[in-house]
Amino acid sequence: MKESGNPHRKLLQSIQADGSLSLADLSEKAGMSQSSTWRKIQELESDGVIRKRVTLLDPGKLDLKLCVIAHVTLEDHHEETVASFASVVSERPEIMECYALSGAFDYMLKIRARDVESYEAFMTHYLLRNRRVRTVVSSFVLRELKFSTELPI
């Protein structure tokens, strides 16, 4: 799927840009028949290339205007420490994304909250109460310059 003219690439680009497109619209954009398009989508889902279909919501309109990037350092890297932290990450809906990092911090979290007070409550009750967490360094996002869910294919 290297060429930009590849119908499968065009299909994936179209799905990424608008997951609500009909099969007919996707077929037209990819230059494929509807039956071929349907089979290719099924194959891409089966292969895990298409992981999930979602609707993106506006956090500001849902009273989740505060976006926080938190850098977390754990006490150690023992298996039970990592598992304890991973449990908090998977259980808390405020945590939108989590990445294990190289460098000065162990993890970077993207967290959504209503306001500073609700973030402080979350951090106090869930992150800092975890005895495996050594430090949390929080940065508040002032302005979002770019947000995309589309891979550069």
* Residue 94 domain-assigned (yes or no): yes
Question: Same structural domain for residues 40 and 70?
Answer: no
**Does 90 lie in the same domain as 19?**
no
Number of compact structural domains in the chain: 2
Domain range for 82 is 59-140
Q: What is the mean pLDDT of residues 105-112?
A: 98
**Are residues 125 and 80 part of one domain?**
yes
pTM of the model: 0.86
Whether pLDDT at 3 is above 50? no
**Do 39 and 73 sit in the same domain of this protein?**
no
Residue 90 lies in a domain: yes
Q: List the end-to-end C-alpha distance of the chain, in Å, as a whole number.
A: 9
Select from 132, 120, 71, 79 the least CA-distant residue to 98.
71
> CATH code at 19?
1.10.10.10
Examine residue 149 and state whether it is found in any structural domain, yes or no.
Answer: no
| Residue pLDDT, tens place only, 71-90 | 999 999 999 999 999 999 99
CB count in 10 Å sphere of residue 6: 15
